[in-house]
A and B are shown apart, each in its own frame.
Chain A
């Protein structure tokens, strides 16, 4: 399966679930900002969760099917449109060669993931297909997608993908009647971000901690795949200590010298020297990935054990989805 990019959009990159084994060489994790949407797009075409998808930031992009294609999309930055008709998300979509598919704006979020049956075929660099723009490696030639780029899928399909494809072709359908419900996995109040307090929490005065957990923070314009600056009440340190650089990870919330918050995201540095107030619960990181400048959030505290339990529950739910889809077809 093959597509060509007609309009690349603002920032479109090939991503998978990240590059974890090279953190000690200061190679960031990278990977999909919204890992949940990435995984669901993959599941909808029968792929493995770690297969490469295209991550689009916002809309204003379009592509053409150069061969018949089986794709799916998930995320909150855009809707797919074919022939002036809105295409449903989170289910397999079949298009004939020559079809032109556009992305139109979804006001809810930022990132949208386009999966293809078999996964997008780009070389592995350091055991991952994720793009890391700063060093210019991984993904599609180490860069964001441009007009006229041609992307192909891996040719060998697994059994589920193969059966989905045959079903749609035999019945001349664009899509089946089932879909995955991503909303069911996400909390209703999307502006409430659950956090676990971090190791340096006692470096801040009580008023600061209280305001961190009660006041509003707004996503600043200085926000990208590396992290978000948050505008809001600055935090005050009650100790004069400095932190020696130590490992940080996507979800870590650092406090800069001026007391401002920075939430680290997928392309963040592997080490940092700012004290940390909290880290975002892994299950809520996908919500953060859909935040755009101007959005307002609040933080609410949960315990480390709760965060782990929520993570394990989420993983369990995701494995049930995979099982349900394969039971439908095999």
Chain B
């Protein structure tokens, strides 16, 4: 894919709407798609490397990138425009035009160890039965996949990942579980994700990772970020315990 062409061809001027007095959202497309995700990830990195006065942070999602700013700094800046929306839009459109041949960024690829089934994955059988598979086939197919983090949302560090084998697709639980332990790996529809904190949740839980998905004391608290590539590796209970230092 020629990313640069997509920027200049179909996305100029960018489609931008105001979300609040302190934020605008850029819409890059309408459907979940890996190429679109690359586009958003690249644009996001480029914007963070070339911020405008008052930029606070950005939130990438499936088809959008939302940009948060301090309106006082924006309005006092010399960006063209009368109001913040115009001024921020002017900067974002300038970013979209940057020739980015030399700013290719490599995505991180992480391997996440998971202990599947048993007490850690109460719904492994549900997923297997729903798809006419046996449990070990579910594990094989889940670990064979190469996933993309589309978005971090729901609770701190929760990664929505696409790219799962369609044959594992399983609907959410009709009644969400009141408590899902931290580290639980789940399936909802055609997505897979990991619960970073103990929260209620409706995803079908097939296993658990010993990794700390969210840790406020870490430089990057959330282990995963939008655009990351992820795969899973099956580990046994004793290996899980070793990770946990048990």
Enumerate chain A interface residues (CB-CB to B < 8 A): 20-28, 125-126, 132, 134-135, 137, 196, 198-199, 244-249, 251-252, 269-271, 279, 281-282, 304-305, 307-308, 311-312, 315
Across-interface contacts of A252 in B (CB, < 8 A): 19-20
Across-interface contacts of B56 in A (CB, < 8 A): 20-21
Within 8 Å by CB of B61, from A20, A27, A196, A247, lies A247
Within 8 Å by CB of B152, from A24, A196, A279, lies A24
A307 to chain B, nearest CB (A): 6
Most chain B CB within a 10 A radius of its CB, from A27, A271, A311:
A271
Instruction: Known A20-B68, A135-B197; judge A249-B153 contact (CB<8 A).
Output: no
Whether the pair A26, B66 counts as a contact (CB closer than 8 A) is no
Whether the pair A26, B155 counts as a contact (CB closer than 8 A) is yes
Whether the pair A279, B156 counts as a contact (CB closer than 8 A) is no
B186 to chain A, nearest CB (A): 16
Within 8 Å by CB of B63, from A125, A246, A307, lies A246
Whether the pair A244, B156 counts as a contact (CB closer than 8 A) is no
Whether the pair B60, A199 counts as a contact (CB closer than 8 A) is no
Q: How far is the CA of A304 from the CA of B89 in the complex (A)?
A: 15
B229 within 8 A of partner (CB): no
B176 within 8 A of partner (CB): no
Which are the 8 A-B pairs with shortest beta-carbon distances?
A: A247-B66, A271-B153, A25-B222, A247-B59, A244-B62, A246-B61, A246-B64, A282-B21
Across-interface contacts of B60 in A (CB, < 8 A): 24
Across-interface contacts of B64 in A (CB, < 8 A): 244, 246-247
A244 to chain B, nearest CB (A): 4
Can you add 12 more A-B contacts, CB < 8 Å, to A25-B214, A135-B216, A199-B17?
A21-B56, A27-B156, A126-B216, A135-B197, A245-B151, A245-B160, A246-B61, A246-B66, A269-B155, A282-B21, A304-B83, A308-B85
Across-interface contacts of B154 in A (CB, < 8 A): 26, 269, 271
Across-interface contacts of B153 in A (CB, < 8 A): 26, 245, 269-271
B148 within 8 A of partner (CB): no
Cβ proximity bits B76-91 to A, threshold 8 Å, 1 near / 0 not: 0000000111000000
A264 to chain B, nearest CB (A): 10
Chain B, Cβ-Cβ closest to A276: B19
Whether the pair B71, A245 counts as a contact (CB closer than 8 A) is no
B133 within 8 A of partner (CB): no
27 contacts between A and B (CB under 8 A): A22-B156, A23-B57, A23-B68, A24-B226, A25-B220, A25-B221, A27-B156, A27-B221, A126-B221, A134-B155, A134-B199, A198-B19, A199-B25, A246-B63, A246-B66, A247-B19, A247-B59, A247-B61, A251-B20, A271-B153, A279-B19, A281-B21, A282-B20, A304-B85, A307-B21, A311-B21, A312-B75
Enumerate chain B interface residues (CB-CB to A < 8 A): 17-23, 25, 30-32, 56-64, 66, 68, 71-72, 75, 83-85, 151-158, 160, 197, 199, 214, 216, 220-222, 225-226
Within 8 Å by CB of B59, from A23, A282, A304, A311, lies A23
Within 8 Å by CB of B151, from A20, A134, A271, lies A271
Q: How many A-B residue contacts, CB cutoff 8 Å? A: 124
Q: How far is the CA of A308 from the CA of B158 in the complex (A)?
A: 32
Q: How far is the CA of A132 from the CA of B157 in the complex (A)?
A: 14
Across-interface contacts of A22 in B (CB, < 8 A): 57, 156, 221
Q: How far is the CA of A252 from the CA of B68 in the complex (A)?
A: 14
Most chain B CB within a 10 A radius of its CB, from A21, A282, A304:
A304
Q: How far is the CA of A307 from the CA of B85 in the complex (A)?
A: 12
A255 to chain B, nearest CB (A): 16
Within 8 Å by CB of A279, from B20, B68, B199, lies B20
B45 to chain A, nearest CB (A): 12
Q: How far is the CA of A308 from the CA of B222 in the complex (A)?
A: 33
Q: How far is the CA of A245 from the CA of B153 in the complex (A)?
A: 9
Across-interface contacts of A135 in B (CB, < 8 A): 155-156, 197, 214, 216
B246 to chain A, nearest CB (A): 22
Instruction: Known A246-B66, A252-B19; judge A134-B61 contact (CB<8 A).
Output: no
Q: How far is the CA of A248 from the CA of B32 in the complex (A)?
A: 18
Within 8 Å by CB of A26, from B19, B71, B152, lies B152
B95 to chain A, nearest CB (A): 17
Whether the pair A20, B71 counts as a contact (CB closer than 8 A) is no
Instruction: Known A244-B61, A252-B19, A304-B18; judge A26-B68 contact (CB<8 A).
Output: no
Q: How far is the CA of A271 from the CA of B156 in the complex (A)?
A: 11
Across-interface contacts of B216 in A (CB, < 8 A): 125-126, 135, 137
Across-interface contacts of B19 in A (CB, < 8 A): 198-199, 247-249, 252, 279
Q: How far is the CA of A134 from the CA of B198 in the complex (A)?
A: 9
Across-interface contacts of B225 in A (CB, < 8 A): 24-25
A131 to chain B, nearest CB (A): 12
Q: How far is the CA of A207 from the CA of B57 in the complex (A)?
A: 37
Across-interface contacts of B31 in A (CB, < 8 A): 244
